[in-house]
Amino acid sequence: MKIAVVGTGYVGLVTGTCLADSGNTVICLDINAEKIARLSRGEVPIYEPGLEEIVHRNTASGRLLFTTDVSTAIAGAEVVFLAVGTPPLTDGSADLRALWSVVDSIAIHLSTTAVVVTKSTVPVGTCAGIEKRLKDRLGRDCRVASNPEFLKEGAAIEDFQKPDRVVVGVRCDDVAGVLRNLYLPFLRTENPFLIMSPESAEMTKYVANALLATKISFINEVANLCEHLEANIDDVRRGIGHDRRIGFAFLFPGAGYGGSCFPKDVQALAAMARKVGVLPRIMTAVHETNSAQKNVLGEKVLRHFRGIMTGKSIAVWGLAFKPRTDDVRDAPSLVLIDQLLAGGASVRVHDPEAMENVRAMYGDRLVYALTPLEAISGADCLVIVTEWGDYRRPDFDEMVRLLKSPVIFDGRNLYSDQEMHARGFQYYPIGKPPIHAVENRTMEKS
């Protein structure tokens, strides 16, 4: 098939690359000329494990192409995927201006049999809006479908190539057949191809993300309660997770969720509810709980230093909103950094992939360390925000030597309480009593 993908962000680039890798000819379209030039040279502007290799392989074979020219991309395309951003407006609803602009620009280039597919996360009713907009411009009915993505940053290639399900929202069987044929190479393990209305498909995407976000906010709220009642969230999590009705997924306490999906999708679902007169009590609480959770680490640090941060040097491990990505959108680390800087502290940061994205935001207001140990050298404490594998088994003896005082605020509960006590760390996890280890702790260095 000849496929066009409009938008070369995380979703668009992964979609186009994986479809090219299954034998299709794919042209990726973007208005950002610099990005297209970089991609044409084989430079992948985002970090996603495995993506660069597949991009190189398919550009070399001629199956994956990049352009800024609408006609080149759209003319003759059998399927046109729309994968442009839908960021939140001030009221939380999705901003569809980029999407409508794309629909207007591609209309005259669409073949009479082309299928226009929304990959962007869009409010319920958007497919119907696209159908009407295209008919108004072309004077004929166009085939439009919804095909929401369920990709996890850091595992997007595997998620696309081995999906647990493919959801398509269509109004006629022949469009479903086109999309089934396109996805057939990825459905060899009998995972379901789910056909529903476009409205149901659009809602499915929001509900999936909102439910996962709800689990995260719920366990974080319970973790905060555990700290006040001297309970251990790890024990509680094990106690409930073995219940088959509950399970363990997304029940790990931490510093709050971030990224491009959960924050905006929870707000957008709430905005959709308000628009039709339904009070979104749970969604509002989920968003508010997560916003508050992002302050928890900074508040712990502030209490430890009795509110005096001036002159303190704080090391931060982990800047991306999750491991295996360089994405810092709505990342908890940014809230922490702002808190520390506002308090007068100096901040030393490390992340395996996201350093340049943070440098573009903060410039010389931060110290950027090349290694985790460089970040903690001379620091008054360490705060862990992202659970990169690089941080799971550090040299604790060297950490004690390098830190001014062996104090760790662990926003992802990477270490065992017993080991922290044995090694003499003052340790502040999430949802568990802190470890003071006064009798073993190395004396603060002068």
CATH code where residue 125 lies = 3.40.50.720
Q: Which of 131, 129, 150 is nearest to 142 (CA)?
A: 131
Same domain (yes/no): 327, 352: yes
Same domain (yes/no): 20, 163: yes
* Residue 433 maps to a domain: no
φ, ψ for residue 15, nearest 5 deg: -60, -50
**Encoded tokens for 398:** 């060297």
The span from the CA of 271 to the CA of 279, in Å, is: 9
* Residue 442 maps to a domain: no
* Residue 435 maps to a domain: no
Summarised one tens digit per residue, pLDDT across range 140-184 is 999 999 999 999 999 999 999 999 999 999 999 999 999 999 999
What is the structure's pLDDT at 436? Answer: 86
Q: Which amino acid is at 249?
A: A
* Residue 443 maps to a domain: no
**Encoded tokens for 240:** 């409930």
Same domain (yes/no): 349, 213: no
Same domain (yes/no): 154, 7: yes
CATH classification at residue 278: 1.10.1040.10
* Residue 73 maps to a domain: yes
φ, ψ for residue 223, nearest 5 deg: -60, -45
The span from the CA of 404 to the CA of 14, in Å, is: 44
Place of tokens 């620091």: 379
Please report which residue ranges of 184-241 form alpha helices under DSSP H: 198-229, 233-241
CB atoms within 10 A of CB 5: 30
Same domain (yes/no): 62, 9: yes
Please report which residue ranges of 308-413 form alpha helices under DSSP H: 332-342, 355-362, 372-376, 396-402
Print the domain residue range for 111.
Answer: 2-196
Percent of the chain with pLDDT over 70: 98
* Residue 233 maps to a domain: yes
Percent of the chain with pLDDT over 90: 96
Contacts (Cβ under 8 Å, ≥6 apart) of 41: none
Same domain (yes/no): 25, 124: yes
Same domain (yes/no): 266, 360: no
Q: Measured between alpha carbons, how far is residue 321 from residues 216, 254, 257, 280 in Å?
A: 14, 11, 7, 26
State the average pLDDT over residues 397-425: 96
The span from the CA of 341 to the CA of 317, in Å, is: 16
Same domain (yes/no): 138, 10: yes
Average confidence score pLDDT of the chain: 95
Same domain (yes/no): 283, 325: no
Same domain (yes/no): 74, 191: yes
Summarised one tens digit per residue, pLDDT across range 47-88 is 999 999 999 999 999 999 999 999 999 999 999 999 999 999
Same domain (yes/no): 275, 337: no
What is the structure's pLDDT at 444? Answer: 43
What is the structure's pLDDT at 176? Answer: 98
In angstroms, how far is the first alpha carbon of the chain from the final one? 68
Q: Which of 30, 178, 201 is nearest to 128 (CA)?
A: 201
Tally of domains within the chain: 3
Q: How confident is the model at residue 437 (pLDDT cuts 50, 70, 90)?
A: low
What are the residues facing 146 on neighbouring strands?
A: 118, 169
* Residue 92 maps to a domain: yes
The span from the CA of 126 to the CA of 206, in Å, is: 13
φ, ψ for residue 238, nearest 5 deg: -65, -35
Same domain (yes/no): 421, 363: yes
* Residue 158 maps to a domain: yes
Residues that are catalytic: 261
Given a cut of 90, is residue 441 above it in pLDDT? no
DSSP assignment, residue 94? B
Q: How confident is the model at residue 282 (pLDDT cuts 50, 70, 90)?
A: very high
